[in-house]
Structure 1
């Protein structure tokens, strides 16, 4: 576990694509007064790998998890049930991806998102279909002063640039979703995956965010 901000921790890196060694994934634990939220999946193994178990013990020390939120169904794995059993947490994702999450993770989804809304009192749900039909981003304005965008795989760091790809979704939808994200002003982006060593990247300025969206759209084309 690595602390990024006073209320945000990053789990150990995973290598989700065996034939793409530079691909990296992380989960993120957001510490909140209303209950900690775990964004994304922590691993692929049913019982948890030793590295994942170390992370889960760290999460337990930080107060556990009230809700685990997935940005899209590619994050589903049998380890979801292990997290629910350990913390008594509720599993959340978009309605369009819920059946695939349940099938792959062998676990029922407790809460589904259907539209742009505010979840758990302070997390903005932003449906961004395209990577998958139910891909969703989440915006959180931290009381410590920064705005976090949990972008899933809608837009991800890619070496020294940014990437976006439709993997089961629609390129046209994804272009529209990127344009929707263009209007945001995040201080930091926490993606579910990346091509490179880290899924976390700070955004230096509004102009830098516009350039990131431009790069993702160009990669999509």
Structure 2
């Protein structure tokens, strides 16, 4: 793991997509006095790997995990059961992705949501259907003068640009474009996706972010 900012850590990079072996996946641990929050899921490559266990030990040293906020059901794996068992963490996901999360992880979500609203400790949940019907992003205004936007697989950096992909048949591209339009109105300083062909974390200016969402929309066509 590595520290990105005083309240944010990035887990060891993984490569869980066999069809895209060069794609990198990371989870992010937000440190909070009221309980740490893990965005996405770590340990998806293989339960029991040394890197995964080292990350879990490091997370324990940092105070453990109170909640796991999933961006969509593709992040679900048996490691969620291990995270819940070791740390007692609550699993949080949009209601429309709750069933497949339970199917692929063996753990039922503890908290589901439908609409945009504030979750635990100042984190805002923003439904962004498109990649999956229950995709969601999360916004957090850090006291360390940065606004973090966790985008899951709704939009991610890719080789100096940005991209996006609609996955499910009933997650229409029009819904995905609307989700990107909604994200374009935000003003993140740091965008943190769940997967990327290079770095899942990107610092960005407001103008660059609007351009990024426009580019991602164009690539949906």
TM-score category (smaller protein):
over 0.9
Q: Distance in 1 between matches of 2:45 and 2:131?
A: 24
TM-score normalized with structure 2 length: 0.96
**Which position in structure 2 is the counterpart of 1:184?**
186
What secondary structure is seen at the aligned counterpart in 2 of 1:83? helix
Contact 1:29–1:39 (CA<8 Å) still a contact in 2?
A: yes
Partner residue, 1:60: 60
Moved over 6 A (4+): none
In the alignment, the residues of structure 2 paired with residue 15 and residue 45 of structure 1 have an alpha-carbon distance, to the nearest angstrom, of 7
Residue equivalent to 1:202: 203
Structure 1 Cα separation of the partners of residues 197 and 76 of structure 2: 20
CA distance in 2, matches of 1:22, 1:46: 17
Task: State the secondary structure of the residue aligned to 2:219.
Answer: helix
Q: Post-superposition shift, 1:45?
A: 5.4
List gaps (5 residues or longer) in structure 2: none
Q: 1: CA distance between counterparts of 2:86 and 2:69?
A: 16
CA distance in 1, matches of 2:120, 2:34: 8
Q: Indicate the SS of the match to 1:103.
A: helix
5+ residue gaps, structure 1, are: none
Following superposition, the deviation at residue 44 of structure 1 comes to 2.3
Contact 1:132/1:170, CA 8 A, preserved across alignment: no
Q: CA RMSD in A?
A: 1.0
Cα deviation, residue 110, structure 1 = 0.3
Structure 2 match to 1:213: 213
Given that 2:15 and 2:25 are in contact with CA atoms closer than 8 Å, whether structure 1 keeps it comes out as yes
- 1:145 CA drift (Å): 0.9
Deviation at 1:18, TM superposition (A): 1.3
2:17 alignment partner in structure 1: 17
Equivalent pairs counted in the alignment come to 219
User: Could you tell me whether the CA contact under 8 Å between 1:116 and 1:127 is conserved in 2?
Assistant: yes
Separation in 2 of the partners of 1:80 and 1:45?
12
